[in-house]
Structure 1
């Protein structure tokens, strides 16, 4: 009996750690009659690693290992055409979120000579309705923040999220949803080829850097994301939704924006 990684994660979430065949079990040889959800399947290992990283506060350096595992396991045929990629994403039915969306939120901004690609976590209610990222209160704050360093989606930036469909109730995206969407994100980055990347929020930062560190542990530094044989500078900062709840952290977000500006020579 075999299960895919999504079924395994779901069963683990509800407390089931193994399946038993519907026939007599020899308790002395129980392992031969059961299927462990913690199998050696490569996809499950990656999903579990991401899941552990998102729920673990330990600062364990798993960046290089996870980057290699995920990128080698989820390669796609890059089309190098943003319109074709968008069609692929619109048709995508790879995870639970596809059945609950009103619109796919692919991204918004310019597609050439992009100074900064801003990557958030997941679309919210307003984004789902309009089909564009960061259009609610968080979006207004983000646009204001970016304009302070002469960046805007209308002139030199592209804005997207790690998952392209809204999670129900604006919950956090789940590991299996992130894994399903990650190839699209990688292809998006490769096509757009931004000069810098601004990762907003823990899920965005952890996904891009394959890290389980906190935002506080990742911000204030220049990281790298490998794309087409080169490394794109990545700066991590707080999500605008978090800043609306914790305005006292805006000074730290400003420092992160200044880091982006310095990379761009602004």
Structure 2
């Protein structure tokens, strides 16, 4: 044994292999390296630039619902690959990989619980699952969330995060646009509010459907919100678009969303909205 080995062992040297690979996180907003634990304690919001990182359904539910008050609702099952679609990979293989990565069946999860003591049903779109793309499973889960809200006499709050329709399901994916629109009308017929929280990014067919049909439209700060890309629009209208085009703040300033709310304040804001919109409509 060499002297270098003896010294290393004496100092209880930690090898690179033993060092956690998720100790730091590089902020997508300012590029600053932040301790992962510090970021999680700050609700995945950068403490340096206030950039809101993308988070999944579990983190949303834990933050928004009263402690111990919520239950994740089962999602309806649909045919996995109705068109037997294949591009560079089989669609079934892409689904399998996404399910392994996220631990979820598809890109939309519902939960029922209470926010500041008031009943609510929340649906969260998970961008980590194939870009939050909208297919039959997402449509069915959305409708199931509406039905759960009607049964509970509670508002339906949806967090959108999507690249749009799921190309592997073709026209079946696009059919979810009118289906979810009809479901929202069912909620209105029951006298219950539909609240949308737009998160980064929300685009495509989702933006053209249930993402912009809320009775109240909220957005997280600096989220990218768009139907189609900047370059496509600029080439179409032959004009240069503002630098902040397709951001939450631009949408608010031009009347397309009602408010931009920080993640830290979102729970209280939703609680106040439920109190205002559902007064006298919920069972005790």
- More RCO (CA 8 Å, sep 6+): 1
Q: Which has the higher helix share?
A: 1
Q: Same fold (TM over 0.5)?
A: no
